[in-house]
Amino acid sequence: MRTIYNCHAHIFTNQCVPEQFLPFGLIRFLSQQKFSQKLGRLLNRLNPRSNDDIFDRYAAFMNIGNYQSQQEIFNLLSGFYPQTTKYVLLSVDFDFMDAGKSPKSLLSQIEELAELKKDEHYRERIYPFICVDPRRKNIGDLVKEYIEEHHFAGIKMYPPLGFYPFDRGLDEVYEYAQSNKIPIISHCSKGGIKTHAKMSKQIKSHPKTGVEFKNEDEVKLSFAHPDNYRYVLDRYPDVKIDLAHLGGGPEVKNYLVTPWYEETEKSWFSAIIDLIRESNNIFSDVSYTMHEYELLPVLSVILSDPKVRTRILYGSDFYMVEMDKSERAFSMNLRSYIGEDNFWQIAETNPEEFLNITA
């Protein structure tokens, strides 16, 4: 029986999220099950004629985060797939996003993943990734510990939380990843979470290009830009990086409507595809972005490119995608549109190469 690899999933609970993640401390309010359940019921009742509208999806999202453990959330996720499916589980380091403290720090989050990895029922099914941030002391030592002692499979980065991927504080991480063929997954879309820190006074222009920023939103977006990885590849040409989300749905749409002129700024989707074609070590995954059915033709077309076809990974972005599609709907819609050959290429063949899985 063949194996599906979901290369992009999260199972952290609301206890891992800082208190100011939502305005007015709402995350702590909503993390109390009695309140989230009441709000969930209210959202469900706003459209009584449907049991799968946007209100239901937000209710489902909130309630998943309130599960008591990552193990419980994983059990929910795995219930949407065949028993042979395997999962890349991505931790996220919220500790430096300047949004207050979390009841559970990154260390608590990854310790829980390490315990799950030890359990014989989960050991062969999960591939935990440790999240890195250059502002964390001794980050290189932490990475080595969790990969060598706790059998984590890779490294996660989330630059919009306040750093550039070419930050020299990550040199030890890149050197280790390149030398040991450790895969890296990095957030690479304009959506998602961002640092709450005031950036406009700290960073007025891009440190490599010198392009000046008009406001702090531009600064925060610049952290995640795919072209930042060109500077990483200049120093570490053999490091293996998945630029997650194909740039995000709006950037795929931007690609569809923007004519090609020499002076036109490329969409992030185009920039990622260029990097894939130029490098042997850049991948991208379809997580979250491909929940929009109208974008599936783009995926189908790029998979006709022999080089690109070997560098796209299946991933859902559970449980973030629950705000728009159920997990099974995401998977089935994509699979039915691109066909079995393409599906198994991105859901089995490419992930096994990315994760260095040998028969």
Q: How many CB atoms lie within 10 A of CB 90?
A: 28
CATH of the domain at 83: 3.20.20.140
CB 355 within 8 A of CB 241: no
Cα 191 versus chain centre, distance: 11
Q: Is residue 279 part of a domain?
A: yes
Q: Is residue 41 part of a domain?
A: no
Widest CA span in the chain: 56
Amino acid at position 247, single letter: G
Confidence class for position 23, pLDDT limits 50, 70, 90: very low
Q: How far apart are the first and last CA of the chain?
A: 14
Average pLDDT over residues 147-151: 98
- Edge to edge, the sheet with strand 312-313 lists 5-9, 86-90, 126-132, 154-157, 184-189, 241-247, 282-285, 312-313
Q: Is residue 359 part of a domain?
A: no
pLDDT confidence of residue 304 = 98
Collapsed DSSP state (helix, strand, coil) of residue 205: strand
Tell whether the model's pLDDT for residue 24 goes beyond 70. no
Q: Length of the chain, please?
A: 359
Task: Please give the residue that has the higher pLDDT: either 57 or 320.
Answer: 320
Could you list the residue range(s) of the whole structural domain that residue 250 is in? 5-31+66-354
Average pLDDT over residues 55-61: 55
Query: Which of 17-31, 155-169, 294-308, 334-348 is least confident?
Result: 17-31
Q: How far is CA 359 from CA 180, 352, 353, in A?
A: 19, 9, 11
List the structure tokens of 35. 């309140």
Number of separate domains in the chain: 1
Q: Is residue 55 part of a domain?
A: no
Average pLDDT over residues 244-250: 97
Amino acid at position 118, single letter: K
pLDDT confidence of residue 265 = 86
CB 183 within 8 A of CB 356: yes
CB 58 within 8 A of CB 326: no
Q: Is residue 191 part of a domain?
A: yes
Tell whether the model's pLDDT for residue 55 goes beyond 70. no
pLDDT confidence of residue 54 = 44
Q: How many CB atoms lie within 10 A of CB 88?
A: 27
Q: What is the mean pLDDT of the chain?
A: 90
Tell whether the model's pLDDT for residue 236 goes beyond 70. yes
pLDDT confidence of residue 34 = 52
Q: How many CB atoms lie within 10 A of CB 250?
A: 16
Average pLDDT over residues 123-139: 98
pLDDT confidence of residue 199 = 77
Tell whether the model's pLDDT for residue 25 goes beyond 90. no
Query: Which of 53-62, 128-137, 146-155, 275-284 is least confident?
Result: 53-62
Q: Is residue 72 part of a domain?
A: yes
The residue to which tokens 């937000």 are assigned: 58
CB 157 within 8 A of CB 165: yes
DSSP letters spanning 278-336? H-SSEEEE-TTGGGSGGGHHHHHHHTTSHHHHTSEE----BTGGGGTS-HHHHHHHHHH
Q: Is residue 52 part of a domain?
A: no
Q: What percent of the chain has pLDDT over 70?
A: 87
- Residue-wise pLDDT for 319-336, tens only, equals 999 888 899 999 999 999
Tell whether the model's pLDDT for residue 46 goes beyond 80. no
pLDDT confidence of residue 1 = 83
pTM: 0.92
pLDDT confidence of residue 50 = 46
Tell whether the model's pLDDT for residue 59 goes beyond 90. no
Strands (E), the chain: 5-9, 86-90, 126-132, 154-157, 184-189, 241-247, 282-285, 312-313
Query: Which of 48-62, 76-90, 118-132 is least confident?
Result: 48-62
DSSP state of 347: I
Average pLDDT over residues 284-294: 97
Residues 72 and 340: their CA atoms lie apart, in Å, by 31
Residues 78 and 91: their CA atoms lie apart, in Å, by 17
Q: Is residue 58 part of a domain?
A: no
Query: Which of 12-21, 154-163, 213-222, 315-324 is least confident?
Result: 12-21
